[in-house]
Structure 1
Amino acid sequence: MKKKNYSYIGIAFIILVFGIIFIPRIVNRIKDNKIVDNNKSRSVGIANPSDEEKKALALSFIEINGKPKKVPNFSFTNQDGETITQDDYLGKVYVVEFFFTTCPTICPRMNRNLIEIQNAFKNEDGFGIASFSIMPEVDTPEVLKAYAQDYGVTNPNWNLMTGEEKAIFDLANIGFNIFVGKVADDEMGFEHSGDFALIDKNGFIRSRKDAFGNPKIFYKGVISEQEKMDEDGNEQEISMLKEDIKKLLNE
């Protein structure tokens, strides 16, 4: 019986020490409103992000020599025979691609993804797409018009454009840093990137940051949301692009 009494005394002593040390601290935290409902905290954080959180979520500007890179001036003819310039896109968020209508490989996949994006923003007047043909001698306005109809282009702000070849190549390689080139041993004679660029309402190229804090610059345009990833293990970025379009539309 004595051993049991010693055990009870020991337990009582531990409880007493705990009360002396910790209960005053708990009372003080309650007085200072430092005890927070974790679930409430999480929901408030999502619904009302702080300025710092908003800054972290904001899309980056692509900077060249310390200055945000803006879409250069251009002037081309669209599928309706109209002259389209960079000014026609001011006030709109838009996606840029370089393609050609007879491309048998990545272009059909890119444009199916763009159709999906178009349909995701079908009620958004402030969204557009700019498609520049890198084979202007073939892709006349009439050819582009038929191509647009075949793919289901309905957005009035989606212009498929043709023009002078050098001007289009310079726009791609210098203006957007999206590779376009002629390749002698290629079946079609051309090689080009399957990436998309995202432009904000003021004509600046924007993107989210990578894991190292650097702008991603481009979005993979070839892999669909349904595929999720390609044979090399690269993940699709169409979902990411849709999210970032929404962010820019809300800016």
Structure 2
Amino acid sequence: MSKKSNYSYVGIAFVVLVFGIIFIPKIIDRIGKDDITRDESRSDDVSKADKNLDKKSYKSDLVYIPNADGGNKKVPSFSFIDQEGKTITNEDYLGKVYVIEFFFTTCPTICPKMNRNLIEIQNEFKDFENFGVASFTINPEVDTPQVLKAYAINYGITNPNWHLMTGNEDTIYKLANEGFYLYTAINDEIIDGFEHSGNFALIDKKGFIRSRLKSPNNPLIYYNGIISEDEGIDDEGIPQEITILKEDIAKLLKE
């Protein structure tokens, strides 16, 4: 091998060494920062699209909630007595857009918050004869029609389509847990003796549960009923959903 060849190999080795010293750390640094991909422009577009979907998640068209059998989830048949002593069934709500909740009158925690929010919604849609609320007590032993009527007066319930209903305890709990998947349970270990969801379900004029999408193929399903618009966000960082519930009620009323 000639000296010229030796010099060539030395030169090449020197270039490789310099490249390694200067550029390899930068490449490693970019990988460590997740700044290098197979196709950076494509990945950036996907990332931006995902973020935009999150931002638009509460602006989607309202969707139907699917059943386990692939159909659309509908309000189960029910029949209860309301605060006026009248028998109210699911058919009384056909042709109306309405919100469903499960509560009890002696609840010292989330129920007052939920019903103050529902009062605000009631007043927002006071000019719509086809808007209503269905409130089911989970403590029917105490919440008689007379008790429910006093509760309605105290809270300022004036909408004639807002029925506070009582009836057989087992039937109510089945409606909540199996009909709507809105959790309710008796729990003697807590201060008020009951556990229940603080969410609202939104029902369209044909009796189907409706909601907006949070992301593609991921419906919101229920609306948080505890946090008020004035609060905006709770101590755990959860945002209020009363505003979007109002928006979605307005959409369904136009259908």
State the percentage of identical aligned residues: 63
Stretches of structure 2 lacking an aligned partner (at least 5 in a row):
1-58
Cα deviation per residue 1:37-79 (whole Å; 9 max; x = unaligned)? Answer: xxxxxxxxxxxxxxxxxxx842110101210000000000000
Alignment of 1:224 onto 2:228: yes
Q: Supply the distance in 2 between the matched residues of 1:184 and 1:149 (Cα, whole angstroms).
A: 29
Number of residue pairs the alignment of both structures matches: 196
**Conserved in 1, the CA contact under 8 Å of 2:62 and 2:213?**
yes
Q: What residue in structure 1 maps to residue 132 of structure 2? A: 128
Q: Supply the distance in 2 between the matched residues of 1:247 and 1:175 (Cα, whole angstroms).
A: 24
Q: What residue in structure 1 maps to residue 26 of structure 2? A: none
Q: Supply the distance in 2 between the matched residues of 1:177 and 1:245 (Cα, whole angstroms).
A: 21
The offset of 1:211, in angstroms, is 2.6
Q: What residue in structure 1 maps to residue 43 of structure 2? A: none
Cα deviation per residue 1:199-227 (whole Å; 9 max; x = unaligned)? Answer: 00000000001134311110000000000
Q: CA RMSD in A?
A: 0.9
Q: What residue in structure 2 maps to residue 90 of structure 1? A: 94
Alignment of 1:58 onto 2:61: yes
Residue among 71, 74, 82 paired with 1:70: 74
Aligned pairs (5 A) from 1:1-251: 57-64=60-67, 65-251=69-255
| SS at structure 1 position matched to 2:147 | helix
Q: Supply the distance in 2 between the matched residues of 1:237 and 1:212 (Cα, whole angstroms).
A: 19
What's the TM-score once normalised by structure 2's chain length? 0.76
| SS at structure 1 position matched to 2:185 | strand
| SS at structure 2 position matched to 1:210 | strand
The offset of 1:239, in angstroms, is 0.2
Cα deviation per residue 1:75-107 (whole Å; 9 max; x = unaligned)? Answer: 000000000000000000000000000000000
**Conserved in 1, the CA contact under 8 Å of 2:60 and 2:213?**
no
| 4+ residue segments displaced more than 4 Å | none
Q: Supply the distance in 1 between the matched residues of 2:215 and 2:76 (Cα, whole angstroms).
A: 29
Cα deviation per residue 1:94-128 (whole Å; 9 max; x = unaligned)? Answer: 00000000000000000000000000000000100
**Conserved in 1, the CA contact under 8 Å of 2:139 and 2:169?**
yes
**Conserved in 1, the CA contact under 8 Å of 2:61 and 2:213?**
no
Q: Supply the distance in 1 between the matched residues of 2:170 and 2:216 (Cα, whole angstroms).
A: 35
